[in-house]
């Protein structure tokens, strides 16, 4: 019985992120006037590799992990996208994430298609050396299909610059040359870029600023709630605090903190661990569900998928939702909120700052000449403002919400490139 209810809920609401992405892509392509075969090409990654990775654990036993690498479409250029370490990684999730990377690259106009990787594991339960062996094992398993001109990985949930460094080192050993351009999100001393760590949050900050202008909300004193306190969420909390906004709620996987007068962001940043956990230190926490429904002007989901659904959309009080996370809002919730007049800046636009500075990192690796933080920030600002304007204007002209207009802007370049190549 329980399973049936779950099934019908899934069907009703497309909680399957791949199915819901496919339905928006189909809508976007049909609005753009492309024939059915273009959708047939775009609806799944062109290449999907599943790997089994044996890892020697610290106690001497061997554990076998399952990993994936999806390459959505390489008509424009090499594929690009992060690697996620999480117990809930699935084939469909990795596929959807690779499609979203294609859309992001299209929206910010980068010479890439989308890629994504994931390993089913819980890095919070693993030692430093076990994580190193898993990271190196994954690179050995996927090495034939990745490379600086083929498919370029990066960090995502529960992966960081240390993991990128091990992966780059392993790939360089296999290829027998120093391949810094194989992966982005590296430490600065190994060819990382200034501004990469905070790039996703910077891009989200620019989108919040632009969206607030449209809604005539003054950022100074505006109340902001952020779900997730990892790479994206914690830098964002800092940037919002620095911009004069009041961050009244933040959360991690275990709970949420709320203070209507504003949280002490510097203190929380200081106490958070490398997995973005901070609430375990506090007693009077609220749940993630309660956090999303707090009184605020701006809500930023910066954790995981399917957080805003038809279940809670009606109770959300924010006027603006800017999606730092991938896939946090279902199609049905997007409809409910858009009808209420809430401005939703979709994930494929709002979180594109990360891949943009990853692209800068790759360009710098290829040319062997490195930019200052100011140069990186100025270039990112230009690209994000232009992308926001394009998507916003398209939504007004086409009379559609910003999610659909972002998909239309994002998919067009891939569709055109695939057409010129004679694929469709
Ligand atoms: P992260 O691992 O650094 O942080 C994730 C945060 O989410 C942590 O605070 C964690 O405690 C919290 N979290 C995990 N499971 C949760 C749950 N069930 N409920 C509530 N909170 C939970 O990851 P990140 O890099 O900050 O990524 C966050 C989101 O942003 C993801 O959707 C990711 O795909 C997206 N994103 C990240 C980047 C990037 O450059 N890091 C770029 C684009 C998009």
With a 6 Å cutoff on the Cβ, whether 203 touches ligand 1 is: no
**Same-domain pairing of 38 and 57:** no
- Catalytic residues, by residue number, are 116
CA of 322 to the centre of ligand 1 (A): 14
Report phi then psi at 86, rounded to 5: -160, 145
Return the beta strands (E) in 110-173 as ranges.
113-120, 151-155
**Same-domain pairing of 217 and 161:** no
Question: Roughly how many angstroms between the first and final C-alpha of the chain, as a whole number?
Answer: 44
**Same-domain pairing of 164 and 214:** no
**Same-domain pairing of 167 and 279:** no
**Same-domain pairing of 301 and 420:** yes
* Structural domain for 106, as ranges: 44-177
401 close to 334: Cβ distance less than 8 angstroms: yes
Structural domains of the chain, count: 2
CA of 424 to the centre of ligand 1 (A): 36
Q: Atom 35 of ligand 1 has which residue's CA nearest to it?
A: 325
Q: Measured between alpha carbons, how far is 398 from 336 in angstroms, rounded to an integer? A: 19
Domain endpoint, select from 142, 177, 212: 177
Q: Atom 33 of ligand 1 has which residue's CA nearest to it?
A: 325
Q: Is residue 93 a part of any domain in this protein?
A: yes
pTM: 0.94
* 12: confidence class by pLDDT, cuts 50, 70, 90: low
Give the number of C-alpha atoms closer than 13 A to the C-alpha of residue 311, restricted to the C-beta side.
12
**By three-state DSSP, how is residue 354 classified?**
helix
Pairing mode, strands 298-301 and 62-71: unpaired
Q: Measured between alpha carbons, how far is 302 from 285 in angstroms, rounded to an integer? A: 18
pLDDT of residue 15: 79
Query: Residue 96: which CATH number?
Result: 3.40.50.10860
pLDDT at 377 > cutoff 50: yes
Q: Is residue 373 a part of any domain in this protein?
A: no
* 178: confidence class by pLDDT, cuts 50, 70, 90: confident
Q: Is residue 385 a part of any domain in this protein?
A: no
Q: Which atom of ligand 1 is nearest to the CA of 347?
A: 44
With a 6 Å cutoff on the Cβ, whether 276 touches ligand 1 is: yes
**Same-domain pairing of 319 and 289:** yes
**Same-domain pairing of 205 and 326:** yes
Express each pLDDT in 46-77 by its tens digit: 999 999 999 999 999 999 999 999 999 999 99
**By three-state DSSP, how is residue 136 classified?**
helix
Q: Atom 21 of ligand 1 has which residue's CA nearest to it?
A: 253
pLDDT of residue 1: 38
- Residue 243 makes CB contacts below 8 A (sequence gap 6+) with 205, 209, 219, 220
Q: Is residue 396 a part of any domain in this protein?
A: no
**Same-domain pairing of 292 and 422:** yes
**Same-domain pairing of 285 and 338:** yes
Q: Is residue 184 a part of any domain in this protein?
A: no
pLDDT at 105 > cutoff 50: yes
* 141: confidence class by pLDDT, cuts 50, 70, 90: very high
**Same-domain pairing of 210 and 289:** yes
With a 6 Å cutoff on the Cβ, whether 174 touches ligand 1 is: no
Which residue(s) pair with 301 in the sheet? 227
CA of 275 to the centre of ligand 1 (A): 9
Percentage of the chain beyond pLDDT 90 is: 95
Q: Is residue 29 a part of any domain in this protein?
A: yes
Q: Is residue 38 a part of any domain in this protein?
A: yes
CA of 209 to the centre of ligand 1 (A): 21
Q: Is residue 285 a part of any domain in this protein?
A: yes
Express each pLDDT in 303-353 by its tens digit: 999 999 999 999 999 999 999 999 999 999 999 999 999 999 999 999 999
Query: Residue 307: which CATH number?
Result: 3.40.50.720
* 2: confidence class by pLDDT, cuts 50, 70, 90: very low
**Same-domain pairing of 6 and 93:** no
Q: Measured between alpha carbons, how far is 290 from 253 in angstroms, rounded to an integer? A: 13
Q: Measured between alpha carbons, how far is 220 from 155 in angstroms, rounded to an integer? A: 32
pLDDT of residue 7: 54
**Same-domain pairing of 172 and 270:** no
Q: How far does Cα 332 stand from its chain's mean position? A: 21
Return the beta strands (E) in 285-422 as ranges.
298-301, 320-322, 343-345
pLDDT at 11 > cutoff 60: no
């Amino acid at each position: 019985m329980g399973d049936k209810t779950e099934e019908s809920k899934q069907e009703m609401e497309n909680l399957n992120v791949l199915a819901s992405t496919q339905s928006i892509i189909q809508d976007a392509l049909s609005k753009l006037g492309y024939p059915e075969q273009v959708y047939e090409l775009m609806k799944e990654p062109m290449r999907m590799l599943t790997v089994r990775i044996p890892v020697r654990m610290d106690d001497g036993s061997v554990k076998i992990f399952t990993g994936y690498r999806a390459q959505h479409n390489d008509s424009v250029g090499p594929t690009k996208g992060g690697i996620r370490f999480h117990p809930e990684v699935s084939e469909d999730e990795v596929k959807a994430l690779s499609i979203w990377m294609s859309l992001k690259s299209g929206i910010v106009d980068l010479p890439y298609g989308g890629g994504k990787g994931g390993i089913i594991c819980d890095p919070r339960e693993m030692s430093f050396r076990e994580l190193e062996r898993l990271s190196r094992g994954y690179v050995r398993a996927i090495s034939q299909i990745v490379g600086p001109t083929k498919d370029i990985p990066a960090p995502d949930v529960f992966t960081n610059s240390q993991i990128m460094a091990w992966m780059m080192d392993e790939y360089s050993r296999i290829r027998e040359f120093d391949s810094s351009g194989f992966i982005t999100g590296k430490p600065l001393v190994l060819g990382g870029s200034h501004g990469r760590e905070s790039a996703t949050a910077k891009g989200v900050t620019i989108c919040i600023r632009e969206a607030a202008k449209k809604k005539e909300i003054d950022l100074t004193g505006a109340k902001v709630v952020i779900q997730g306190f990892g790479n994206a969420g914690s830098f964002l909390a800092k940037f919002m605090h620095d911009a004069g906004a009041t961050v009244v709620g933040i959360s991690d996987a275990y709970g949420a903190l709320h203070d209507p007068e504003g949280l002490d962001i510097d203190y929380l940043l200081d106490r958070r661990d490398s997995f973005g956990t901070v609430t375990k230190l506090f007693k009077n926490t609220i749940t993630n569900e309660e956090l999303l429904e707090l009184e605020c002007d701006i809500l930023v989901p910066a954790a995981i998928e399917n957080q805003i659904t038809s279940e809670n959309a009606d109770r959300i009080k924010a006027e603006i939702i800017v999606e730092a996370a991938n896939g946090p809002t279902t199609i049905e919730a997007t409809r409910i909120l858009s009808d209420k007049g809430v401005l939703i800046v979709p994930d494929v636009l709002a979180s594109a700052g990360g891949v943009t500075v990853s692209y800068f990192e790759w360009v710098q690796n290829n040319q062997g000449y490195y930019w200052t933080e100011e140069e990186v920030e100025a270039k990112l600002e230009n690209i994000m403002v232009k992308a926001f304007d394009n998507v916003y204007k398209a939504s007004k002209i086409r009379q559609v919400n910003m999610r659909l207009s972002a998909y239309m802007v994002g998919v067009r370049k891939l569709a055109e490139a695939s057409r010129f190549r004679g694929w469709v």
